[in-house]
C-alpha cells in the first residue's frame, strides 16, 4: 500500500511539472505568434489605408495616411527577430512610395501605382514569422 501511494505521488508530481513547463512554453509561443500577426495586420492596414484618386487632369492625388508608420512596424519586426518580414515590409514600402511619386509627378501611369500597391498587399499577407519563434529564450 505504501509503494502504491509513493508511485501515485511521483506520477502526480512529474505530471504537474511537465504540464506547467509545456503550458508555459506553448503560451509563450502563442503570444509570440499573436504579436507577429498583430504587427502584420497593422502593416497591412497601413497599405490598405492609402487613399488615392485619379482626377480629370490626368494626375494622381494620394493621401498616405498610415504608410509612414510602416518603418516603425518594420523596426519591431527586426527587434523581435523577424528579419525577413522586416526586409519584405521595407522593400514594399519603398516600391509603393516610388510608384506613388512617379504617378504623382506624371512620370508613370497610375496603373503602375495600383499594381505596386496590390502586390505589396499580397506580399504582406504572405509573410511568415521566423522559425526562431520556437526558441524558448531570447528577445523573440
Q: For residues 71, 84, 92 and 97, what is the CA-based torsion angle, rounded to 10 degrees?
A: 30
Cell of 36: 507577429
Q: Which are the contacts of 61, defined by CB distance < 8 A and separation ≥ 6?
A: 52, 53, 54, 55, 104
Nearest to 88 by CA among 66, 119, 133: 119
| Predicted confidence (pLDDT) at residue 2 exceeds the cutoff of 70 | yes
pLDDT digits (tens, 9 = 90+) for 28-73: 888 889 999 999 999 999 998 888 887 767 677 777 777 888 999 9
- Residue 120 bridge partners (DSSP): none
Q: Where are the domains of the chain?
A: 34-134
As a whole number of Å, the CA-based R_g of the chain is 24
Only one residue has cell 508608420, namely 69
Say what the pLDDT of residue 58 is: 67
Instruction: State the burial class of residue 114 (Cβ atoms within 10 Å of its Cβ: 0-12, 13-18, 19+).
Output: middle
Task: Please state, in angstroms and rounded to a whole number, the distance separating the CA atoms of residues 113 and 103.
Answer: 7
pLDDT digits (tens, 9 = 90+) for 97-125: 888 888 877 777 778 888 998 999 999 99
Cell of 119: 502586390
Cell of 45: 492596414
* pTM for the model: 0.81
Amino acid at each position: 500500500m505504501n509503494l502504491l501511494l509513493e508511485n501515485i505521488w511521483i506520477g502526480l508530481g512529474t505530471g504537474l511539472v511537465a504540464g506547467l513547463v509545456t503550458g508555459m512554453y506553448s503560451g509563450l509561443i502563442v503570444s509570440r505568434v499573436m504579436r507577429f500577426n498583430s504587427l502584420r495586420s497593422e502593416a497591412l492596414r497601413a497599405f490598405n489605408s492609402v487613399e488615392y484618386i485619379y482626377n480629370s487632369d490626368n494626375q494622381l492625388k494620394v493621401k498616405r495616411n498610415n504608410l509612414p508608420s510602416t518603418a516603425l512596424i518594420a523596426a519591431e519586426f527586426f527587434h523581435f527577430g523577424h528579419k525577413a518580414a522586416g526586409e519584405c515590409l521595407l522593400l514594399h514600402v519603398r516600391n509603393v512610395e516610388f510608384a506613388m511619386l512617379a504617378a504623382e509627378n506624371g512620370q508613370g501611369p497610375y496603373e503602375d501605382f495600383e499594381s505596386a500597391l496590390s502586390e505589396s498587399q499580397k506580399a504582406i499577407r504572405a509573410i511568415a514569422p521566423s522559425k526562431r519563434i520556437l526558441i524558448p529564450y531570447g528577445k523573440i
